[in-house]
Amino acid sequence: MESSVRQIADVTLIRIDGRVDHATAKAFEEVIKPHLDDTGAAPLPKILLDLGGLSFMTSAGLRVLMIAAKACAAQGRDLAVAALQPAIAEIFKISRFDLVLKIHPTVEEGLSSLSSEAAVLWEAG
């Protein structure tokens, strides 16, 4: 699993590539967890997970996402995912995560939904 993090206006964009399984779930959690901590800053950044490069995810990865969703909900923050590959979208549908998380077909649409400022910066490159 590989990851990258980019701040775009008031959205933290976290890209995940590869596989999230029992061997990599801890690393996945370590990428996301620092962005879930309430730093006292207001407003807290929204989070968009770009899963376009994710090829496989087990229940261990879904557990990390559930913890992240609960943390964001408790803080009144937005958490969304974008660019799911068909196999990952099917996992989300079967596990009902499509009802837990906001899912967007592309990163651009996810950014537009979360923040008009972030969308403009994304388009500008």
- Averaged pLDDT, 44-58: 95
Structure tokens at 28: 């996945």
Structure tokens at 125: 């490159």
Determine the pLDDT at residue 44.
Answer: 78
CATH code where residue 56 lies: 3.30.750.24
Tell me, yes or no, whether 76 lies in a domain: yes
Contact present, 35 and 71 (Cβ < 8 Å): no
Tell me, yes or no, whether 19 lies in a domain: yes
Tell me, yes or no, whether 95 lies in a domain: yes
Tell me, yes or no, whether 24 lies in a domain: yes
Tell me, yes or no, whether 59 lies in a domain: yes
Tell me, yes or no, whether 124 lies in a domain: no
Domain that holds residue 81: 2-114
Domain total for the chain?
1
- Averaged pLDDT, 70-83: 94
Tell me, yes or no, whether 120 lies in a domain: no
